[in-house]
Amino acid sequence: MNIAICPSSHGFGHTSRQLAVGKLLIQQGYSVHFFSHIPKFVRHYLPEATVHECFFDVGLAQPNPVEIDIHKTLELLTERCSSAKINTIATALKKFDLVIADIPPTVLEACRRNNIPCLAISNFDWAWIYRHFEELLPWANTFASWQQPHTALHITPGPTLCHFSKVITIPPLAREYQPFHFPQKRILLAFGGFESEELISSLPEIPDIFYLVAPPNIPSNRKDIEYCDTVSYPQLISGCWAILGKPGYGLITEAAQAGTPLILIPRDIFPESEYLRQFSEQNSQIWLQNSPSDNGFTDEFIQAIQHIQKKGPSVPSSFQGAREIVKLLRRFSESNFSSLRQ
């Protein structure tokens, strides 16, 4: 059985969590084809999958990990969500037995128009996100209409998925825990694949603290920032003493799963942040009030480090979202995915 996995082109989180699904599907004997805007990232983790480079959607255009560019978002929406683009996507997907969409609206619409079995999976949908921005309301309404015919799996934590024909809630979804250990104390800098060199360069130099960056970040000239491209990201998350990053779904779930202390910079402009925060704080993760460019950041950051030193690692968690998805796919496959066809 051939399955296409189509993550949103926004950041790394949608792709990284679908890697967990893809890996388990391959282990269960499915043929997995990944369509992603970061194909090298996918091939490194899933060498058994067929990988195609593809930019399905926009999400929210970001000049850096904590800001949104609405004007650029509107430009890209016009380019990537045209009827011609949707038809091109449909041509690429019509040969598959099932499409898993996390959660590009163009993929959902391409499947609807061409009667391709499609299962949506996400912790939020872009129609819900766009309703929080006045300039994006017309697109929110369009995306809502594209979502309506489809069945969706809502992975927690996150707001309830909207405008789908049926929504099934499942546990958190994260890549498999990969134990690792660095011999020295390191703080991983994790900002989701967005341009973050300026943010990283503004971090304070702290005695006995070394930072670690990995692709897609580039090496730094600072002596207290090391570059690592030889181990997987799940290994970095489990192997580092602590993590500093932005509050994204993949980061908070994988850090909680590994029991690695996580310090998060504020990102309240993003509507889903309050849902991530609730989950994050339940897992003893620390939310700062200041970003690295703010005057109060250094003192607050040092206090967070001191708190971690006193408290020690968190208790690791175990998330079964990927297994629940495969169980549901087995159930759907018994009827040849007829319940997912439009």
Q: What is the pLDDT of residues 185-204, one digit of tens each?
A: 899 999 876 667 778 888 99
- Is the model's pLDDT at 342 over the cut of 60? no
pLDDT in tens, 232-253: 999 999 999 999 999 999 999 9
pLDDT in tens, 283-333: 999 999 998 888 899 999 999 999 999 887 677 888 999 999 999 998 887
Cα separations (Å) of 266 from 14, 122, 206, 242? Answer: 20, 22, 21, 17
What is the C-alpha to C-alpha distance for residues 206 and 244, in angstroms, rounded to an integer? 14
- Is the model's pLDDT at 90 over the cut of 70? yes
Neighbours of 2 (CB within 10 A): 12
Cα angle 123, 125, 130; round to 5: 130
What is the C-alpha to C-alpha distance for residues 173 and 171, in angstroms, rounded to an integer? 6
The segment(s) of the chain belonging to CATH 3.40.50.2000 are: 2-173+320-340, 186-311
**HSE (CB half, 13 Å, CA atoms) of 292?**
20
What is the C-alpha to C-alpha distance for residues 13 and 3, in angstroms, rounded to an integer? 20
Query: Which amino acid is it at 334?
Result: E
Per-residue DSSP letters for 176-205?
Answer: PP-----SS-EEEEE-TTS--HHHHHTSPP
Lowest mean pLDDT among 139-148, 269-278, 329-338: 329-338
Per-residue DSSP letters for 49-74?
Answer: SEEEE-----S---SSTT---HHHHH
pLDDT in tens, 100-119: 999 999 999 999 999 999 99
Residues 6+ apart with CB under 8 A from 123: 154, 155, 156, 157, 158, 159, 249, 272, 275
Q: What is the largest CA-CA distance in the chain?
A: 61
> For residue 96, what pLDDT is reported?
96
pLDDT in tens, 73-82: 999 999 999 9
Residues 6+ apart with CB under 8 A from 286: 261, 262, 263, 264, 304, 307, 308
DSSP 335: T
What is the C-alpha to C-alpha distance for residues 248 and 191, in angstroms, rounded to an integer? 8
> For residue 101, what pLDDT is reported?
98
> For residue 37, what pLDDT is reported?
95
- Is the model's pLDDT at 340 over the cut of 90? no
> For residue 341, what pLDDT is reported?
60
* Record: fold of 2-173+320-340: Rossmann fold (3.40.50)
> For residue 171, what pLDDT is reported?
95
223, 203 Cβ separation under 8 angstroms: no
308, 261 Cβ separation under 8 angstroms: yes
> For residue 338, what pLDDT is reported?
63
Phi first, then psi, for residue 325 (nearest 5°) are -65, -45
Phi first, then psi, for residue 33 (nearest 5°) are -125, 120
Q: Which is nearest to 241 in space by CA: 262, 265, 214?
A: 262
- Is the model's pLDDT at 339 over the cut of 70? no
* pTM given for the model: 0.92
Neighbours of 65 (CB within 10 A): 22
What is the C-alpha to C-alpha distance for residues 115 and 94, in angstroms, rounded to an integer? 8
pLDDT in tens, 114-171: 999 999 999 999 999 999 999 999 999 999 999 999 999 999 999 989 999 999 999 9
% of the chain residues with pLDDT over 70: 96
* Record: fold of 186-311: Rossmann fold (3.40.50)
Instruction: Return the beta strands (E) in the chain as ranges.
Output: 2-7, 31-36, 50-53, 98-102, 118-122, 151-155, 166-170, 186-190, 210-213, 225-227, 242-245, 262-264, 286-287
